[in-house]
Structures are given as structure tokens and as C-alpha cells.
């Protein structure tokens, strides 16, 4: 049996994955480590800039799995997915003293979004009239917003709130209400379903039965959705 798996993670996606003092941390890191350890497998993490880089490394065989990937029909053509370990919500974030968010129907500016992310796919599918500025990372989204090159950034709710709480984005606020669910899963290549997905799902089920999943949510102050 495989005794170590390499997982590609987004280096700045708090509270799920983040690199602190050179080490990976976060709710998803803890869940993956605990679930795989239950099956006798060690997790090794590969931090990269955003979901596009994660899926490139995965498709190229440089990683065994990618964390925090939302299942879509398009992605099912390329990857196998685990059971989800949290359900996030999508949200718009803007500047504290910027224009008030008027809702998708009346918005006339530009939105920054991480390329190849679920929120990117969601906006293209449901709000194709809105101009999007695609970037590689959460940090780049913030840069676009703070510089005034976009009027909002689209991200997952808990990531945006975590960035604000950490002091990384003191002038940024959540706008409106969440607008779409995003169940997060582990993605692997289809031929690695038995080697990667099956043991993770078995470990995840054990964490859920034993209450460890709830304890990890509480530790990282994870709310009602990812």
C-alpha cells in the first residue's frame, strides 16, 4: 500500500490552507493528515499559487491529489473526487470606502477572480455579462482590488473573512450575501481512485463518526459552509 501521498495545496487560502513559517497549516491540512493517517498513510504537502497551479501539478503527475477542489461536471471529465469535507459559500468582497455592491444585475465594474477556481466557473456560467480579471492567487486578487483595478473580488466566504481577520486586508469588507455553495473535496487522477480517494474517504468517514471532524472545525473556527 502507498505509505505517502503528495497533496497540492493553495499556499494562501485561509482558514483551509496557508503556509506559516514555511510550514503548511489549516483546517484542510489537518483533515487530510488525520484522514490519511487513519489508513496508515502520511501526507506531504506541495504549496502552490492557486487552483490552476494545483490542477496542473496534479495532471502532470507531480502531486497525487489536490486539496479544496469543488466538484463540477467539467472537472469530473479530468479528475476523480473524494467525499466533500466542508461546504463553503461564494461571496463578493469590496473596499470599505468603495462603491456599495449593487448585486449582480446592476454591477457595472470588474471582478477579480482566481483563474480555474470554482467561483470563476460559477461566474462564467451564471453571470457571463460581468467582466472578470483572472489572477493566479488570492494575494493577486487583493492587489487588484486595493489598487482599484477592479471594483470587487470573488472568493469563498470563509477565506475572505479569514484574510480580513488576520489583518492582511484591513480595508476589505464582505459585500451582500453569499451567492453559491462550493463543496470542497480532494481531487486525484481517475486511475488513482483506489490508491488515493478510497483511503481518504475511509479515513474521513472514521473522523466523522468519531467526532474529530467537528473538533477540527471548531479548532479552525469553520462555520456552516465551504
Tell me, what CATH number does 22's domain have? Answer: 3.40.190.10
Only one residue has cell 463518526, namely 209
pLDDT tens readout for residues 139-174:
999 999 999 999 999 999 999 999 999 998 999 999
CA 121, CA 148: separation in Å to the nearest integer? 23
Residue 8 contacts residue 190 (beta carbons within 8 Å): no
189 lies in the same domain as 81: yes
CA 54, CA 43: separation in Å to the nearest integer? 16
Residue 22 belongs to domain spanning: 4-86+182-219
**DSSP reduced 3-state for 174:** strand
E strands present in the chain: 4-10, 12-13, 17-20, 23-25, 42-48, 65-70, 80-81, 86-95, 111-114, 132-135, 152-156, 172-188
* pLDDT value of position 1: 54
pLDDT tens readout for residues 61-96:
999 999 999 998 889 999 999 999 999 999 999 999
Residue 4 contacts residue 46 (beta carbons within 8 Å): no
* pLDDT value of position 73: 86
161 lies in the same domain as 95: yes
139 lies in the same domain as 117: yes
155 lies in the same domain as 125: yes
pTM of the predicted model over 0.85? yes
Residues 6+ apart with CB under 8 A from 215: none
* pLDDT value of position 2: 65
What is the total residue count of the chain?
Answer: 226
For the record, the C-alpha cell of 204 comes out as 474521513
67 lies in the same domain as 20: yes
176 lies in the same domain as 186: no
Alpha helices (runs of H) in 167-223, residue ranges in sequence order: 198-210, 212-219
CA 91, CA 156: separation in Å to the nearest integer? 6
* 76-111 exposure pattern, b = at least 16 Cβ within 10 A, e = fewer: eeebbbbebbbebbbbbbbbeebeebeeeeebeebb
* pLDDT value of position 29: 98
Indicate the pLDDT class of residue 224, thresholds 50, 70 and 90: very low
* pLDDT value of position 225: 33
Element counts in the chain: helices (H) and strands (E):
8, 12
pLDDT tens readout for residues 112-136:
999 999 999 999 999 999 999 999 9
Q: Would residue 105 count as lying in a domain?
A: yes
Indicate the pLDDT class of residue 210, thresholds 50, 70 and 90: very high
**Mean pLDDT, rounded, for 166-188:** 94
Q: Would residue 224 count as lying in a domain?
A: no
* pLDDT value of position 226: 31
Q: Whole-number mean pLDDT of the chain? A: 94
Cβ-in-10-Å burial (0-12, 13-18, 19+) of 198 comes to: middle
| Number of domains the chain contains | 2
* pLDDT value of position 168: 87
**Mean pLDDT, rounded, for 177-184:** 94
For the record, the C-alpha cell of 218 comes out as 471548531
| DSSP one-letter code for 117 | S
Alpha helices (runs of H) in 78-197, residue ranges in sequence order: 118-126, 138-146, 157-166
Amino acid at each position: 500500500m502507498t505509505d505517502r501521498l503528495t497533496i497540492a495545496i493553495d499556499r494562501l487560502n485561509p482558514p483551509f490552507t496557508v503556509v506559516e513559517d514555511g510550514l503548511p497549516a489549516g483546517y484542510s491540512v489537518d483533515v487530510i493528515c488525520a484522514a490519511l493517517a487513519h489508513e496508515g498513510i502520511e501526507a506531504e504537502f506541495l504549496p502552490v499559487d492557486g487552483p490552476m497551479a494545483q490542477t496542473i501539478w496534479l495532471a502532470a503527475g507531480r502531486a497525487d491529489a489536490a486539496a479544496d477542489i469543488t466538484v463540477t461536471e467539467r472537472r469530473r471529465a479530468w479528475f476523480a473526487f473524494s467525499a466533500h469535507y466542508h461546504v463553503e459559500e461564494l461571496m463578493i468582497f469590496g473596499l470599505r470606502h468603495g462603491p456599495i455592491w449593487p448585486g449582480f444585475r446592476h454591477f457595472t465594474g470588474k471582478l477579480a477572480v482566481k483563474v480555474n477556481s470554482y467561483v470563476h466557473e460559477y461566474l462564467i456560467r451564471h453571470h457571463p455579462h460581468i467582466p472578470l480579471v483572472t489572477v493566479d492567487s488570492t494575494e493577486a486578487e487583493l492587489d487588484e482590488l486595493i489598487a482599484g483595478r477592479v471594483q470587487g473580488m470573488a472568493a469563498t466566504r470563509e477565506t475572505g473573512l479569514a484574510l480580513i481577520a488576520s489583518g492582511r486586508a484591513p480595508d476589505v469588507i464582505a459585500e451582500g450575501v453569499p451567492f453559491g455553495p462550493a463543496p470542497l473535496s480532494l481531487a486525484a487522477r481517475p486511475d488513482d481512485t483506489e490508491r488515493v480517494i478510497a483511503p481518504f474517504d475511509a479515513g474521513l468517514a472514521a473522523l466523522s463518526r468519531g467526532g474529530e471532524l467537528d473538533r477540527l472545525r471548531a479548532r479552525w473556527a469553520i462555520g456552516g459552509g465551504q
